[in-house]
Amino acid sequence: MGKMFVPERRRVILNRLNESQRVSIKELAKEIQVSEATLRTDLTKMEEEGLLKRTHGGAVLADSSDNETSFSIREKKNKIEKSAIAKEAAAMLENGQCIMLDASSTALELARILKDKPIRLTVVTSGINTALELNEHPDITVILLGGIVKRGSHSLEGTLGVNILNQINIDLLFTSANGFSLESGLTDFSVYEVELKKAMVRASKKVIALLDHSKFFKNSIASFASLGDIDIIITDSSQANSQKHVLAEHGVELITIETE
C-alpha cells in the first residue's frame, strides 16, 4: 500500500470501525504502513470531531448518545452567525420555488425563519427536524427524502431516497458542511451522508453553501461538492474575503455578512 494522505487514512480508519466497531493502533499501523505516533494523532483529532472514542491502544465507534451530544453542541455553536447566514439565505427565496435543505444545523435555522415567513414553497429535505419544523406551514409542501435514520443526528443517509430527486426540479440547494477549502470544496465526516449529498448537489440547478467562519480552510473525510459545483457561499468569515478573487474565477459568488 502506497503512502496515504490524511483524508485517506481517516477513511480507512472509519471503514474498519464500521466493520468491527473497534480498531487497534498496531493493526492499523501495519495495514496503512505509517507510524503508531501518526495514527495516535489521527485518532485524537477524529475523537475531537466526534467520529470515534479513543481507547487504550486504539479506538471504538462513538455511541449514539455521544453523537447526539455532538449534534446538540453543533446546533448551539455559532448560533448567532448561523441565524444571520440563514436570514441572508431566506432573502433569496421567491414564491413558487422548489428548494432543498440538507440536515445541517444552519439549514435548520433557515427552516425556522421560513416557518414564520408568508411564502409558498416546496421544500425537499434530508433533515427530520427540518421537515417537522416546516410541516405546519400552510403554504409549504414538505418532501422528506427516504434513507437510513442516522442515530443522534436527526438526519437521513444513504441513497435510498435518490430516485425521488430524478422526478423533481430543484431550484436551489442550501447546504452546509463540516469543512470547506479551495482544494477539496465542501467536505463532511460521514461517508454515507456524503453519498446522499452528492446526489442532492447533482439534482439542483444552483448550490448555495451556508458556512459560518469555523468551516473555512478546514477539510473533513470526504468531499461532496467541488468548487465547480458551488454557485454561492454565504458566510460571516472575514478571512474568506482573501479568497474572493479565486472563488470568482471558479464562478463562485461570495457573500460575506456582518454579525453583531
**135 by DSSP, 3-state: which?**
coil
Pick 39 or 218 by higher pLDDT: 39
> What is the structure's pLDDT at 171?
98
**76-256 in CATH: which number?**
3.40.50.1360
**Domain 6-62 class in CATH:** mainly alpha
Pick 124 or 53 by higher pLDDT: 124
**What would the mean pLDDT of 201-211 be, rounded to a whole number?**
97
Question: Nearest-CA neighbor of 239 among 163, 180, 196, 197?
Answer: 180
Task: Parse the chain into domains and list their residue ranges.
Answer: 6-62, 76-256
pTM: 0.74
**What would the mean pLDDT of 234-244 be, rounded to a whole number?**
90
> What is the structure's pLDDT at 76?
58
Question: Nearest-CA neighbor of 65 among 151, 142, 133, 146?
Answer: 151
